[in-house]
Chains A and B, each alone.
Chain A
Amino acid sequence: MASRIVRNVLVVLVSVVWLVPTWLVVVNAFTPSAQYTGSPRWWFASADIATNIRTAFSTAGVGQGMLNTLIYAALGAAIAVLISALAGFAVTVMPVKRPAIWFWGIYIGTVLPLQTFLSPLFTGYAKTGLYDTQYGMLLIYVAMTIPFAFFVNRNFLMTVPRELAEAAQLDGANWLRMFVRVHLPLARSALLATFVFQFTWIWNDLLFGITLSLSPNVRPVMATLADLSGSYGTAGPPVILAGALVASIPTVLLFFVFQRFFVNSLRLTS
């Protein structure tokens, strides 16, 4: 009983600590630009966030940006998760010689610092005509998100009992069938988690957005939001916060919807 109370108190404490900064973001997005003094507010200055949102959408192409990003994030994360699940399956289940080499060959993608290959990538994109195209953006996002998804899926697949693969083999299943019928369903929660993570990563990417795109119909939403606060942006912080809040709705929703897949029925105590 006592430990129950302690646990509840701890969870309340954690929630409050985490909620306070989030609260500040939301409240200050409601401040009308004219009333903004430079220091943050703790309570709503007005009930009108719509004006700030409208300003954000009309000054920068936040709406079009969100549409572009939705394509990159949904499609890019899905492709990356599939490709990485295939590779993860190969190094854990298939009889690959020296799986460690393949592991590092893919894992190295997380190791390289982003800023390192921005400039060669820009040059390469300009030469191949991929610069400022939706295909180009999609391609780099898929490549960027494979390594982490691979790492998660591989480590999850390692927990799948080997006997399952052997049984499927005895049943005459080929690798692809085994992958689709046995391992993919088992790894469902890991696949979903990596999808949500990589969707969020692509959604929130700024660096590649500002480096590799220019036109409104290619530029992702974080790059357009950056224009709001950039040198020729005249909008104040409340407008930026309002725009950022709207731009964060999809990822927050995604986490919320997928949450029940992460925790099904597992009860550790009582």
Chain B
Amino acid sequence: MALVTTTEKLPVATRSGADQPRRGFRWRRALWVGGFLLPAVALIVVLLVVPFLVTAYRSLFDDNGVSSRFIGLANYVALFTDPDFGRSLLNTVFWVIGTLVLPVLLGLLIAVLTNSVRWGSVARTVVVIPYALSGSATALLWTFLLQSDGAINQTLASIGLGGLQQEWLLHWPLNTVVMILATTWQATGASMILFLVGLQTIPPETLEAAKLDGATGFRLFWSIIVPQLRPMTIVVVGMSIVNSLKTFDIVWLLTRGGPGTASETLALTMYRETFTLSRYGYGAAVSVVLTIVVLAASWLYLRRQATQR
């Protein structure tokens, strides 16, 4: 109670009027809520939202870093008539679907499976290690595996399957598919851990009751575990949508978006326009479009969940 009395000092005249105590109460409640919410909201607005708005403003200019001229929405018009932009958008959609299917589903399956075998913790560690590895090591590793005289092609040749050898990173859409697999290797550990946290919230009694009713194996998984995991599934799927739409690192490190611009995602297009071609206004326009796409996708997925309790 000590803390309530310290925050009560603000509305001094609370006890005079008839409706005053009520207002004092409301004030105090607003203070409490503000105190809990303010640090998070303030940091995000100042450090993330404001810089983004600066970029959004810049998208209205023809800006090459030296001189800039107001051109309204011309950058956006140019964007939507650019065939490279269409390809980039298509790749981004591939990434969203691919990472929704693979790391999310595999993470769920591995989380449940490793819970039911004795040495599951060893397997979990093996799956999590790639997530903990740094980006520079990962990039080198996949170059090792995928380059034309790399480990995968060597192995295929040595077991007599030389006919299956590919230039993995040089052809679209194979390069995008291969990079999605590489991401799956790295990201599955993260979704697995989130599902493990979710599994803990399932009351043991629920499982016992289901088992008494004869639910086992797949049935237990599908009709008891999956519905109970819903709050964590929302987190994993929500993050997967956002992160896949923003895919940058692995593509930049493995193909630089190439050959040409074939494997570019929206984030790479934006980066190339801004930092390689110094078309700051145009790059800013791409980033605004990307943000709108990510926001719209998240909203479509989360709008019901965000208000539900």
Residues of A at the B interface (CB closer than 8 Å) are 3-4, 7-8, 10-11, 14-15, 18-19, 21-22, 24-25, 28, 38-40, 42, 83-84, 86-87, 89-92, 94-96, 99-100, 102-117, 119-121, 124, 139-140, 142-144, 146-148, 150-152, 155-156, 158-159, 172, 174-177, 179, 189-190, 193, 196-197, 200, 203-204, 206, 222, 225-226, 228-229, 237, 240-241, 244-245, 247-248, 251-252, 254-256, 259-260, 262-264, 266-270
Contacts and interface: CB of A to CB of B under 8 A. Distances in A.
B226 interface: no
A267 B115 contact: yes
Given A151-B238, A254-B132, A18 B36 contact: no
Nearest to A197: B190
From A18, A91, A119, A255, name the one whose CB has the most chain B CB atoms within 10 angstroms: A18
25 contacts: A21-B130, A24-B144, A39-B150, A84-B40, A87-B39, A90-B36, A95-B33, A109-B48, A115-B271, A119-B280, A124-B50, A142-B43, A151-B235, A155-B232, A174-B1, A193-B194, A204-B135, A206-B136, A206-B249, A248-B137, A259-B128, A262-B197, A263-B120, A268-B115, A268-B220
Contacts of B120: 11, 263
B97 interface: no
A11 B125 CA distance: 12
A193 B48 contact: no
Interface in B114-145: 114-117, 119-137, 140-142, 144-145
Contact of A268 (B106, B151, B225, B291): B225
Contact of B154 (A39, A114, A115, A150): A39
Contacts of B295: 108, 111
A234 B270 CA distance: 31
Given A86-B36, A267-B116, 8 more contacts: A15-B123, A86-B37, A113-B287, A197-B193, A248-B132, A252-B129, A252-B133, A268-B116
Contacts of B287: 113, 115-116
Interface residues of B, number: 106
Contact of B231 (A111, A159, A222): A159
Contacts, number: 306
Nearest to A124: B51
Contact of B44 (A3, A8, A14, A147): A147
The majority secondary structure among interface residues of chain A is: helix
A142 B37 CA distance: 15
